[in-house]
Each structure stands twice: as structure tokens, then as C-alpha cells.
Amino acid sequence: MKITKEKTLKYKLRKNIQAMDSKIILRQEIQNLTDKRQLSRALKALIEEGYLAKLGYGIYTKTEIVPETGDVILKAPFSDLVKETLDKLGIDWDLTQAQKDYNEGRTTQVPVRPGVRLKDRFRRKLAFHNQRIYFEGNIYAR
């Protein structure tokens, strides 16, 4: 029996991810396609191709490859992806105090470090290359 491209798990997974409106893909959303090991191998292959990036445990995002350099970049700003991830996971969050102060005009200092103030407990780490999210408040403490 000849295996065609359309029958491979990687192809099915890629089509399934393309059909999703969200830029964030949770492993639990695609786990019904196959068993855990095959899914892990297919996800790893898509990451190596530059189609996906892993942000954290069971959290992936769509990426693009810059044609000139071959670098993998996110399709949206990292801080927006983190907020979308927290929303998808049902974690209640708010802007950091620095972001609120800037938005309300109390300061002209632009917040550079991406962060959120958590209202629920969240113990995962979210990162992409050298970008890491800053959690403000004491809820993150173990």
C-alpha cells in the first residue's frame, strides 16, 4: 500500500491547524487525531519545519519563516499570544500596573517587559527564544 502525502498525520495535523482561527493551539484541542506518541512526533516535525513554535507545556503557536534569513518568527506579538493563551486556558488576568499607568496617562514611560497580573493560579512558563512573560502579583508563587 502506497502512503500518499494526504494520508500522513503531519499533513492532517497541518490542515487541522490551518482551519483554526486562533493563533494558539492547545494540545488538548488536537489530541483526538491520534495517540500521544504519534502526535508528539508530528508536532516536533512541524516545529522543526518552522510551521509551529512551542510556547509552553502543551501550548503551541503558528509561526512564519522570514524568506531572506530563514528565521522563525511569531505571527503576532508575544504579549498578545500570552494573553490569548491565558484566555483559552480560562485563567483570569489583568494588565500590569505599569501598563495601566501608561494607558491612563499617569506616566510617559512605555512598559517594555511583557507582563500580566494574574488573578488565578498559573504555574506554567511561557517563552519563545529569549522572550519570557513576567507575572505580576503573588498568585504565581509555588
Co-location of 110 and 55 in the same domain = no
Co-location of 19 and 71 in the same domain = yes
Domain CATH number, residue 12: 1.10.10
Q: Give yes or no for a contact between 109 and 76, defined as CB atoms under 8 angstroms apart.
A: no
Co-location of 82 and 44 in the same domain = no
Q: State residue 142's pLDDT score.
A: 45
Tell me which residue of 110, 115, 117, 118 sits closest to 134, measured CA to CA.
115
Which residue range is the domain that position 11 belongs to? 1-75
Q: State residue 5's pLDDT score.
A: 65
Co-location of 32 and 59 in the same domain = yes
Specify the pairing of strand 131-132 against strand 115-118: unpaired
Co-location of 57 and 46 in the same domain = yes
Co-location of 40 and 90 in the same domain = no
pTM score: 0.85
Q: Mean pLDDT per segment of 10 residues, for the chain of length 142 residues? A: 68 90 93 89 93 95 93 93 94 90 92 87 89 78 46
